[in-house]
Amino acid sequence: DAKTTQPPSMDCAEGRAANLPCNHSTISGNEYVYWYRQIHSQGPQYIIHGLKNNETNEMASLIITEDRKSSTLILPHATLRDTAVYYCIVRPLYTGTASKLTFGTGTRLQVTL
Amino acid sequence: DGGITQSPKYLFRKEGQNVTLSCEQNLNHDAMYWYRQDPGQGLRLIYYSQIVNDFQKGDIAEGYSVSREKKESFPLTVTSAQKNPTAFYLCASSIRGLAGYEQYFGPGTRLTVT
């Protein structure tokens, strides 16, 4: 899996949008950008993934730059329950190779009142 | 409800003892995985299984063993040969074992060996 770079920590006020950046300058053409989050002492939770178009689901939006070298995960109205470590991962899709998630240290998002 | 269960949530063992961690899924997923997480670190893959009766070593398989006799079960044994077994262990599953399929995680088992 290609390497990603994320800030170690971020703060966000409750009700505001949380914008979490991720750099993946070595991403290759067949690799997708995935986001997971891990609330303290729980298993990671899948959030969203995308290739080159912006994606939105009920949890978040994913904005990928045109050159695909970076992306931003947006939580539109952060709540205290969104406090977690957020992991950005790039990995190929449907290549026939065995699946493995390579987690870095992620961004610790603290949502405050 | 469909999901992945791991038991127990907390496990304590004496050094030199083998211990088996349970992982069960009722999602009808073909693939299952075991990861290890140390404090402040990301996840590292121990073993994975793409289909029943087959499994492969991950990045840190030494000192661990697995079996996959049933589709819904993938137990992990931490043997006495594992030098630093104290960690948070996470089990996951996906529809298929190929790259790209989302992995769904269980709640984890925190193992402490003294």
In tens, the pLDDT along B61-77 reads 999 999 999 999 999 99
What pLDDT score does B103 carry? 87
**Range B70-98 average pLDDT:** 92
What pLDDT score does B1 carry? 56
Helix, strand, or coil (residue A50): strand
How many residues in chain A? Answer: 113
At A32, the amino acid letter reads Y
Angstroms from A58 CA to nearest CA on chain B: 16
Give tens-digit pLDDT for B9-50: 999 999 999 999 999 999 999 999 999 999 888 888 999 998
- H helix and E strand count, chain A: 0, 9
Contact across the interface for A104 and B42, Cβ inside 8 Å: yes
Interface of B with A (CB under 8 A): 4, 31, 33, 35, 40-43, 45, 48, 50, 56, 58-59, 88, 90-92, 94, 96-108, 110
A68 pLDDT higher than 80: yes
**Range A67-75 average pLDDT:** 96
Cα(B99)–Cα(B42) distance, integer angstroms: 19
Q: Closest Cα to residue B55, out of B40, B70, B44?
A: B70
Angstroms from A43 CA to nearest CA on chain B: 5
B98 pLDDT higher than 80: no
Rounded-to-10 torsion of CA A32, A46, B64, A3:
30
Which residues in chain A are closer than 8 Å to B91, comparing Cβ atoms?
43
